[in-house]
Amino acid sequence: MESGKEAAANAGASARAGMEKTRAAFQGQVDKAAAYTTGHREAAVVNKEAAEVKKQQRMRAAEEEKQRAVRDNAAAKERAETEDRHGGHSPASGQSKE
């Protein structure tokens, strides 16, 4: 049962990351296009490079968030399995789950 919950949560995290990456890619294209409206070739090149860096940062942040969510989901699954093995008691706290 817990593995199904984990899989669903991981799928959700992956979907959110995919959406963020798509947004970043689209915004990067918009920013690059806007870079050429300055009228100065040097400024356009700098703005284009800045847009690419920003896009890469957003994509990297989305991937890191997804990986964090996957780790958190795995830890939650492990905690639930540990509690089940110990009859509803957490070995760390000695408390029963309510």
Residue with tokens 């996957």: 70
Q: Rounded to two decimals, what is the model's pTM? A: 0.69
Total structural domains within the chain: 1
Q: Is residue 97 part of a domain?
A: no
| Residue 98 forms part of a structural domain | no
Token pair listed for 94: 């000695």
Report yes or no on 95 lying in a domain.
no
pLDDT band of residue 98 (cuts 50, 70, 90) is: very low
Question: What whole-number distance in Å separates Cα of residue 58 and Cα of residue 21?
Answer: 7
Percent with pLDDT over 70 in the chain? 85
Q: 96 — phi, psi (to 5°)?
A: -85, 150
Whether residue 14 lies inside any domain: the answer is yes
Specify if 73 maps to a domain: yes
Quick: pLDDT tens for 57-68.
999 999 999 999
Residue 69 lies in a domain: yes
The boundaries of the domain holding residue 23 are 2-85
Tens-digit pLDDT profile for residues 27-61: 988 888 887 776 678 888 888 888 899 999 999 99
